[in-house]
Amino acid sequence: MTETQAPVAIEGFRGALLAPGDDGYEQSRFTWNAMFDRRPALIARCSGVADVIAGVNYARDNGMLLSVRGGGHSIPGHSTCDDGLVLDLSPMRSVRVDPVKKTVRAEGGVNWGTYDHETGAFGLASPGGQVSTTGIAGLTLGGGIGWLMRKHGLACDNLISADVVTAAGELVTASADENEELFWGLRGGGGNFGVVTSFEFELHEVGMVLGGAVMYPVDRAPEVLAHYREFCKTAPEALTTYALLVTAPPAPFVPPEMVGHPVVVVAGCYAGDLSEGERAVQPLREYGNPPIDLFQPLPYPVLQSMFDETGPAGHSYYIKGDYVSDVSDELIETVIEQAAAMPGPHCEIHFGQMGGAIARVGENDTACSYRNAQFALIAIAHWIEPHDEEGHIAWARGLGEAVRPHTVGTYVNFLGDEGDERVKYAYGTEEKYDRLVALKRKWDPNNLFCLNQNIKPGA
């Protein structure tokens, strides 16, 4: 604890406080994305709400830069920092399901794997993301797109209430009946307004789902993506699908001759009656005799963790994501060209079909925007060796530029450090952004919570 001026104690703090040199500090200073090799002055591992209040008060009163960490999966590394205080909620992992009311209360450090495990024990779930390793906190506060979104909406659409520690160090509850404007802002406005210590969600009956993927060699991408576009036009809302351009995973998922080769994949999750699901995915499974067909009935938590290994913690990532209105022939051509230029075997391009329940929520009903977008398009540059950084970042940026003419909006949780204009763009209209600024002025006038896709109180 001697390398910086880290304090030895925070009054009223009960969890572990880690300063440089302490056991566990090196491990705790890293988050999911290894690109961000930062050294906080102090990592405060919160054991409960009292610790969160103590940590917020301490950072504010000492003018410290503050990072708030839920699941640690911030793409631009916002949940760690140099020389500041990291308020790490990851020890706060309790989940309490009420199977009768079909609701759940989960603490701010829970990830979707833990959440789904607990809710899944009752055959219940609410929408999370595409993998189980992300935190419920960051994903929900930004919106939350994932496998159940077309049937049950975004993660934030299922939020009933949230307990929030404000910049003043006070605990408030936000819901449809209490602090309603704050509740509006929490559903899409990210970590701008306070630290959410506990989330209450509505649950749905989601036991077994029909999930999996069909896979083809990449030279079939033009026809497979064109078929995917047509398929999506009539796909039922119970089915959420993604089309991916990736490198084939290892055996036993694919035959040896395809391992390590580029492939085009259409993956899906049907949440509902399984025989109806079989009918719904049949056109995907029948199209063009796919050499690999992994669709099968699965418990939802298994489906939600199926892609976890594609994005392990400790590797480096740079991501570009936007919404597009259509998978047009021109866009298909552009994306295939970009896929051919992938600088390494871990890079990926995803199209995710939106619509359904997402678009039934009004554009101004929550802070989360672009509810009429048809697809989310994301390019993931992923590398292991530091010397690969430059080429990978250049590839993702190039792809972002190449697809720009097709984009209709952006998603705050897919943004990197891209500047204020892109944050503003993520909220659609001036009016909406102004409403968020007003909320920020009310709850965080001095911008204590600034390490996020920041809505500046003075904007």
Q: Which residues contact 111 (CB under 8 A, 6 or more apart)?
A: 71, 132, 133, 134, 135, 136
Strand (E) or helix (H) holding 304: helix 300-305
Burial class (CB in 10 A: 0-12, 13-18, 19+), 234: exposed
Q: Would you count residue 130 as binding ligand FAD (CB under 6 A)?
A: yes
Q: Would you count residue 71 as binding ligand FAD (CB under 6 A)?
A: yes
Q: From the CB of 288, what's the least distance to ligand FAD, in Å?
A: 27
What amino acid is encoded at 103 in this protein? T
Identify the DSSP state of 18: E
Residues 400-429 that bind ligand FAD (CB under 6 A): 413
- Binding span for ligand FAD by CB under 6 A among 6-14, 22-30, 64-72, 227-235: 64-72
Comparing CB distances to ligand FAD, the nearer of 44 and 258 is 44
Q: Which of 182, 196, 280, 368 binds ligand FAD (CB under 6 A)?
A: 196
Q: Which of 68, 86, 110, 324 binds ligand FAD (CB under 6 A)?
A: 68
Q: Is 417 helix (H, G, I), strand (E, B) or coil?
A: coil
Q: Would you count residue 306 as binding ligand FAD (CB under 6 A)?
A: no
- DSSP-derived secondary structure for 180-239: HHHHHHHTTSGGGS-EEEEEEEE-EE--EEEEEEEEEEGGGHHHHHHHHHHHHHH--TTE
Q: Is 39 helix (H, G, I), strand (E, B) or coil?
A: coil
What amino acid is encoded at 416 in this protein? G
Q: Would you count residue 153 as binding ligand FAD (CB under 6 A)?
A: no
Identify the DSSP state of 368: -
What are the C-alpha distances in Å from 216 to residues 224, 228, 293, 337?
A: 8, 13, 9, 17
Q: Would you count residue 457 as binding ligand FAD (CB under 6 A)?
A: no
Q: From the CB of 316, what's the least distance to ligand FAD, in Å?
A: 12
Q: Would you count residue 144 as binding ligand FAD (CB under 6 A)?
A: yes
Q: Which of 75, 159, 221, 437 binds ligand FAD (CB under 6 A)?
A: 75
Q: From the CB of 77, what's the least distance to ligand FAD, in Å?
A: 8
Q: Which residues contact 5 (CB under 8 A, 6 or more apart)?
A: 41
Q: Would you count residue 79 as binding ligand FAD (CB under 6 A)?
A: yes
Q: From the CB of 8, what's the least distance to ligand FAD, in Å?
A: 25
| Spatial CA neighbour of 376 closest among 319, 323, 413, 415 | 323
- The Cα 396–Cα 186 span in angstroms is 29
Phi, psi of 296 (to 5 degrees): -165, 160
- The Cα 431–Cα 424 span in angstroms is 11
Q: Which of 46, 141, 264, 455 binds ligand FAD (CB under 6 A)?
A: 141
Phi, psi of 193 (to 5 degrees): -110, -10
Q: Would you count residue 31 as binding ligand FAD (CB under 6 A)?
A: yes
Tokens of 269: 């999750």
Q: Would you count residue 70 as binding ligand FAD (CB under 6 A)?
A: yes
Strand (E) or helix (H) holding 283: helix 274-286
Comparing CB distances to ligand FAD, the nearer of 113 and 190 is 190
Comparing CB distances to ligand FAD, the nearer of 113 and 277 is 113
Q: From the CB of 330, what's the least distance to ligand FAD, in Å?
A: 26
Q: Would you count residue 81 as binding ligand FAD (CB under 6 A)?
A: no
- The Cα 190–Cα 115 span in angstroms is 20
The alpha-helical segments, DSSP class H, found in 30-162 are: 49-61, 112-120, 136-142, 149-152
Q: Would you count residue 354 as binding ligand FAD (CB under 6 A)?
A: no
Q: From the CB of 376, what's the least distance to ligand FAD, in Å?
A: 8
Comparing CB distances to ligand FAD, the nearer of 192 and 338 is 192
Q: Would you count residue 40 as binding ligand FAD (CB under 6 A)?
A: no
Q: Which of 28, 57, 58, 69 binds ligand FAD (CB under 6 A)?
A: 69
Q: Which of 195, 221, 225, 281 binds ligand FAD (CB under 6 A)?
A: 195
Comparing CB distances to ligand FAD, the nearer of 31 and 247 is 31
Q: Would you count residue 225 as binding ligand FAD (CB under 6 A)?
A: no
- Binding span for ligand FAD by CB under 6 A among 134-142, 171-179, 383-391, 422-430: 134-142
- The Cα 29–Cα 17 span in angstroms is 12
Q: Would you count residue 156 as binding ligand FAD (CB under 6 A)?
A: no
Comparing CB distances to ligand FAD, the nearer of 40 and 190 is 190
Q: Would you count residue 142 as binding ligand FAD (CB under 6 A)?
A: yes
| Spatial CA neighbour of 31 closest among 95, 74, 2, 66 | 74
Q: Which residues bind ligand FAD (CB under 6 A)?
A: 31-32, 68-75, 78-79, 89, 108, 129-131, 134-135, 137-139, 141-146, 190-191, 195-196, 311, 413, 451-452
